[in-house]
Amino acid sequence: METVKLTIDNKTAEVPKGTTINKAARQLGIDIPTLCWMELHDLNIENRPAGCRICVVEVQGRRNLAPSCATNCENGMVVRTHNTRVLNARRTVMEFILSDHPKDCLICPKSGNCELQAMAHQLGIREIPGQEIAAMSTYRKDTSPSIIRDLDKCILCRRCEMMCNTVQTVGALSAVNRGFMATVAPAFEQNLEHSTCTYCGQCVAVCPTGALTEVDNTPDVLRALADPTKTVIVQTAPAVRAALGELFGMEPGTLVTGKMVTALRALGFDYVFDTDFAADLTIMEEGTELLGRLTRHLKGDKSARLPILTSCCPGWVNFFEEYFPDLKDVPSTSKSPQQMFGAIAKTYFADKIKVNRKDLVVVSIMPCLAKKYECQREEFSVDNNRDVDFSISTRELASFIKQANIDLNNLEDGEFDAPLGESTGAGVIFGATGGVIEAAVRTAYEVHTGKKLDRLDFTELRGLEGVRSATIDFDGFPIRIGIAHGLGNARKLLDDVRSGRSQFHAIEVMACPGGCIGGGGQPLHHGNSDIIKARAAAIYTEDRKKPLRKSHENPFIIKLYEEFLGKPNSEKAHHLLHTKYFDKKKKIVVKQ
């Protein structure tokens, strides 16, 4: 490997050719502050527009200061990272940035978790010269079902664009306007709702300031809890328990399932249930659908389209409705676990506890922002009463727990309530990429072959590779499985399906890199894939510890079919647990 030698702040470094000054400095223990720069480790993607100019350094012999995030080391370079010229420039640029930023930190959703705030503190900015005559660049606030854009707080780091375009290939966000009024917006400056946005929330996950945030539904939940006429129940998605602890100072990968249950009970929820239960239900429905389609397909029925695509992820559903509406009969018709839970809760469970569905409030805790949109889809309501009333993210739950003065760290472990709280390990692994298909394999194999699986850990389906494939032997019949996480990767598989090149029988897609554990509603991971890996490990640990690890063995699922649904893909199951998809390809609407 070719290396280059240079001097940074009088220390000598030898680094591989192509290393930036910033990274070389880090190796020497020199911290050059950065603002817009961001690295997504496993994706091998770096956001370095060199736009904020906070990381500038002096390179001897160059006329101007150089952005250390985007300047490669060269042999013989002499770099100064903190001399007076650099410090003065850095401070002045920071004053510029702050002069065009609202000062409402008191009520900003990012306060305390804002990279700009932290940088202002780090650079010791106490006042902003000329603020009294400084105009602010303003832009209309845009509230969608999932995401709020408050672009007055945008510092044009362009990270959201990178996520939306490079990683997700959704293309909803790009820079518009110029100069002082430059900002990031959908094409033709439409609102997000009228754009190609899938609400995956990856833009929110990387935004350094309060410019992109989730819609906060905790006040709605609080109001429901405070209303004595309502019975309020909650479901928690598998990925939440693997990340919530991070917001209470725990190490990434700490499982807080029991503590979370206790906290939710303390918050006043009448029943604390588990979305994992609905995940098991999803496997029953989706697995049956897969086997049905496969059988029909093998018998030569052309209407049975393969591969079957998973449909648990609402960001993914939005993506194919927008970009691949011609393939809308390809995905499984099974609703997502969130919506299956809602449908069962407001029928089977409401009947059981003799509460009118209008007085039963279903809240979901999700690692996801698209879930907020999903629960608002018209087809998931009965007489204007949603199956799932409110969806709040992991971050919102953490804030809610803190508001209620609950000390999560010191809580005793609690148990989920029955009957919608019982789940198998198969339901848990829905939280990680590859998990849904692994869970489906565990059940479909046994149902299809009538034989017992001798191993339950399909490690070939796990991992963080963007597109993965594996062939699973179904007792002599090879089932070819594809897995994609991140919508950019999903697009590749979908292009193959569209062109007829795809050889897969089943494909799992999750919109967010890493799957739900890397969701747009999770604690911010700042691109650090070690955090994602730790969360995945936690999920698989929980799976291993479960006494039951196959969905069809969940006794409450068996009971649900016996008492209520009949059998998988029955007419009643179809009515409650399946859905259809729509052509949502955006037409350019000039007037909103």
Dist. CA 144–CA 165, nearest whole Å: 19
Q: Is the preceding peptide bond at 419 cis, omega within 30 degrees of 0?
A: yes
The yes or no reply on residue 83 touching another protein (CB under 8 A) is no
168 near 200, Cβ under 8 Å? yes
Cα-Cα-Cα-Cα dihedral sign, residues 566, 567, 571, 576:
positive
Longest dimension (CA), the chain: 80
Minimum separation from the CB atom of position 191 to another protein (A) = 20
Minimum separation from the CB atom of position 96 to another protein (A) = 4
Q: Which is nearer to another protein, 114 or 494 (CB)?
A: 114
The yes or no reply on residue 177 touching another protein (CB under 8 A) is yes
**How big is the CA angle at 159 (ends 153 and 160), to the nearest 5 degrees?**
75
Torsion of CA 558, 563, 568, 571, to 10 degrees: 180
Q: What are the Cα distances from residue 184, in Å, to 21, 216, 363?
A: 28, 22, 32
Residue count (the chain): 592
- The piece of 96-104, 338-346, 539-547, 573-581 that touches another protein (CB under 8 A) is 96-104
Query: φ and ψ at 59, to 5 degrees?
Result: -110, 120
Q: Which is nearer to another protein, 99 or 528 (CB)?
A: 99
384 near 390, Cβ under 8 Å? no
How many residues bind to another protein according to rule CB under 8 A? Answer: 36
| Lookup: tokens for 104 | 């409402």
The yes or no reply on residue 134 touching another protein (CB under 8 A) is yes
Query: Alpha helices, DSSP H only, in 299-349?
Result: 314-323, 337-344
Dist. CA 516–CA 430, nearest whole Å: 8
The yes or no reply on residue 75 touching another protein (CB under 8 A) is no
Minimum separation from the CB atom of position 590 to another protein (A) = 19
The yes or no reply on residue 18 touching another protein (CB under 8 A) is no
The yes or no reply on residue 87 touching another protein (CB under 8 A) is no
Cβ neighbours for 139, distance < 8 A, ≥ 6 positions apart: 151, 152, 154, 181, 183, 185
**How big is the CA angle at 211 (ends 210 and 216), to the nearest 5 degrees?**
60
Residues marked active site are found at: 286, 289, 312, 332, 371, 374, 379, 516
Q: Which is nearer to another protein, 97 or 440 (CB)?
A: 97
- The piece of 11-19, 91-99, 196-204, 554-562 that touches another protein (CB under 8 A) is 91-99
The yes or no reply on residue 88 touching another protein (CB under 8 A) is yes
The yes or no reply on residue 133 touching another protein (CB under 8 A) is yes
The yes or no reply on residue 135 touching another protein (CB under 8 A) is yes
Q: Which is nearer to another protein, 130 or 478 (CB)?
A: 130
The yes or no reply on residue 93 touching another protein (CB under 8 A) is yes
Minimum separation from the CB atom of position 133 to another protein (A) = 5
The yes or no reply on residue 590 touching another protein (CB under 8 A) is no
Subset of 55-74 contacting another protein (CB under 8 A):
56, 64-65, 67, 70-72
Binding site for another protein (CB under 8 A): 49-53, 56, 64-65, 67, 70-72, 85, 88-89, 92-93, 96-97, 99-100, 129-130, 133-135, 155-156, 174-175, 177-182
